[in-house]
Each structure stands twice: as C-alpha cells, then as structure tokens.
Amino acid sequence: MPLIAMLLDRAARLCSEAPRRKASVRRAVFAWDGDLLHIVLTSGGDLLLANTYPARDAVTALYFLLSAVAACQVKLSDVEWHHYGNLAKELRDELGRQGKKIHQL
C-alpha cells in the first residue's frame, strides 16, 4: 500500500475515533522519509488535502507542512499534528519551535 494511502486510512480512523465534541479538530497526519513529505489534512471528517512533496531537508519539509496548512486556510494554532514513522530530530525541533506537540502514530 502506498504511504499516502496508509496516511489517508490513519486520518480517517482518527476522525472516526474522535469524540463528538472534537468533531471539528483539524489534523495533519504526515510522514517524512528524508526525501518525500507525505501529508493529509482533515477538518472534522472532511479531507482538506492529501499530497506528497519533495523535501530533502527539515527546513523544506517544515515549509511544505506550514504551506499546506496555510493553503487550506487553517490557523496553525488549530492543528493537531500526527506523525507516522521515525521523525527526524531536525523536524521535531522545528515544529517544537512553533509550539506544536506531535503525536506518534
């Protein structure tokens, strides 16, 4: 199964498992392998974006993560981050500087 398809499945499960009061939570489910960034953005049960971007370093991966959120007109402070796989220290540190907690899938 392609990684983006697996992330779509994980995002759908997170949406279905969320309590009703959190139905409008915006989630970013992503994976970065050092070459490609795969990201799925949802709002409640609605898919906002699913895409893969070339990202060979943490700064580029962060750029695409933040740009994808902005393109969907979602406030960064409203996003719940979920990462699949091993997250490089550089990217974890960069998201940490943004004040974001990252949940491991």
The full set of domain ranges for the chain reads 3-104
Strands (E) located in 33-89? 36-43, 46-54, 79-83
> Domain 3-104 has what CATH class?
alpha beta
pTM, full prediction: 0.85
The model's pLDDT over 3-26, given as tens digits with 9 standing for 90+, comes to 889 898 888 888 787 655 455 788
pLDDT > 70 fraction of the chain, expressed in percent and rounded: 92
The model's pLDDT over 55-85, given as tens digits with 9 standing for 90+, comes to 999 889 999 999 999 999 988 888 889 999 8
Nearest to 2 by CA among 33, 45, 48, 26: 33
Q: How many CA atoms lie within 13 A of 65 on its CB side?
A: 28
